[in-house]
């Protein structure tokens, strides 16, 4: 299990509620220049709240107001759609040319965008290539067409500058903005992708429109997102209209360093559980972040839960028991109703849930419906989730 990744993930959620209150005011206001510019029209988004798009004559403007948790000024990017576009550039954090070809990404959640937009050949470098599972990208990696940038978040900045991409997309917790300044000084068009800050599953998926706007494939991004949104909403509607004899109670999360991390009631993970027709034991904890609980609190609430959706990469119940013998006390463990998202991996071990999951929440929802209400999807086999034996 990549505990570093998960710890970062959980710590991100830990601060999210406070960050949300601070950032809400930004989400309700337009950028000062765009609001007063009559030639700019806002492109309405359906679910995402971390970025906005504006259309001008021959250009778009992207504004990222929630690039990472905490208080920060919006990042504004000018996206030229025509090389002859004459727009003052001094107010923007990056200028994106109309002919973006060479792209560097730094998070696996960004990779499916290039595949869905049919531009996987534009990826030229990525940190820790083994994490990528997508077949079209792996073929390019095997041919030596995608360069290694180092491991994890510690990508090689000097190598990025040497490669001089047309676009660099980063995911950050806000701790490495000095690197961003360095890249900007080196004339590397660098943008922040804050998809992980979004709390609605379809909000995270809608960031494909951000990538589409940057790469000249916005219309295709709209089509792709609409397909996913319609799939998701159709599945959700099927659950709402179904008549169930019972609704399973569900426990979620795992222990990490003696703290149980579980999604709060309004968190991304909890929304999935609700939409899939589960009775989540912490649904009344009205926060968007991650709960940090003592084991005794979870045992009291979750002892008799019917199903346990684990957030770790365990492959068997034995592995879980070895990690923490207290897990065996839960009824869901005793009855073998424990599921994890570790079913599908790429050729080099990358977990597809962490790559494709943000872009395809409809698949996650379908998996969970199959687990909670198998009669609704009798012929479906979950893609990400597996039952532990």
Residue 137 to residue 122: CA distance in whole angstroms: 10
pLDDT for the residue numbered 152: 60
- Is a pLDDT exceeding 70 seen at residue 37? no
Please report which confidence band the pLDDT of residue 153 belongs to, taking 50, 70 and 90 as the band edges.
low
- Is a pLDDT exceeding 80 seen at residue 5? no
Average pLDDT value for residue range 276-303: 93
pLDDT per residue as tens digits for the range 103-115: 999 999 999 999 9
pLDDT per residue as tens digits for the range 169-184: 999 888 888 888 899 9
- Is a pLDDT exceeding 50 seen at residue 21? no
By the 10 Å C-beta count (0-12 exposed, 13-18 middle, 19+ buried), 296 is classed as: exposed
- Is a pLDDT exceeding 50 seen at residue 15? no
pLDDT per residue as tens digits for the range 330-358: 999 999 999 999 999 999 999 999 999 99
pLDDT for the residue numbered 38: 54
Partners of 256 in beta bridges: 259
- Is a pLDDT exceeding 50 seen at residue 322? yes
pLDDT for the residue numbered 245: 87
By the 10 Å C-beta count (0-12 exposed, 13-18 middle, 19+ buried), 178 is classed as: exposed
Whether the pTM exceeds 0.85: the reply is: yes
Average pLDDT value for residue range 220-230: 98
What's the number of CA atoms in the CB half-sphere (13 Å) around residue 291? 26
Q: Where are the beta strands (DSSP E) in 48-146?
A: 51-56, 59-64, 75-80, 94-96, 103-105, 123-126
Record the tokens describing residue 280, joined without a space.
């989540």
Nearest to 165 by CA among 217, 216, 124, 113: 124
CB 132 within 8 A of CB 111: yes
Residue 306 to residue 381: CA distance in whole angstroms: 20
């Amino acid at each position: 299990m990549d505990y570093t990744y998960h710890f970062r993930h959980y710590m991100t959620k830990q601060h999210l509620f406070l960050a949300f209150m601070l950032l809400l005011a930004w989400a309700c206001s337009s950028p000062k220049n765009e609001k007063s510019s009559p030639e700019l029209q806002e492109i309405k988004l359906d679910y995402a709240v971390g970025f906005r798009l504006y259309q001008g004559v021959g250009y778009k403007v992207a504004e990222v107001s929630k690039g990472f948790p905490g208080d920060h000024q919006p990042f504004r990017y000018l996206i030229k759609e025509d090389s002859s576009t004459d727009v003052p550039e001094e107010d923007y954090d990056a200028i994106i040319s109309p002919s973006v070809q060479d792209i560097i990404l730094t998070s696996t959640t960004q990779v499916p965008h290039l595949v869905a937009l049919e531009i996987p050949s534009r990826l030229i470098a990525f940190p820790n290539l083994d994490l990528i599972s997508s077949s079209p990208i792996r073929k390019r990696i095997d041919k030596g067409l995608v360069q290694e940038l180092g491991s994890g978040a510690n990508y090689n900045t000097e190598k990025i500058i040497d490669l001089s991409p047309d676009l660099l997309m980063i995911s950050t917790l806000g701790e490495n903005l000095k690197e961003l300044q360095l890249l900007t000084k080196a004339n590397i068009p660098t943008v922040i992708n804050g998809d992980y800050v979004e709390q609605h599953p379809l909000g995270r998926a809608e960031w494909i429109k951000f990538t589409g706007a940057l790469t000249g494939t916005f219309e295709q991004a709209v089509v792709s997102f609409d397909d996913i949104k319609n799939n998701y909403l159709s599945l959700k509607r099927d659950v709402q209209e179904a008549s169930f004899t019972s609704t399973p109670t569900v426990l979620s999360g795992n222990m990490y360093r003696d703290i149980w991390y579980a999604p709060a009631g309004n968190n991304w993970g909890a929304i999935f559980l609700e939409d899939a027709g589960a009775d989540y034991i912490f649904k009344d904890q009205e926060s968007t972040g991650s709960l940090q609980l003592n084991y005794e609190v979870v045992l009291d609430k979750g002892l008799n839960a019917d199903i346990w959706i684990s957030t770790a990469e365990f492959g068997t119940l034995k592995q879980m028991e070895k990690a923490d013998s207290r897990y065996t006390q839960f009824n869901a463990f005793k009855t073998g109703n424990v599921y994890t998202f570790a079913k599908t991996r790429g050729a080099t071990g990358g977990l597809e849930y962490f790559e494709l999951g943000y872009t395809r929440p409809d698949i996650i929802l379908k998996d969970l419906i199959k687990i909670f209400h198998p009669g609704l999807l009798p012929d479906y086999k979950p893609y990400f989730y597996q039952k532990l034996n």
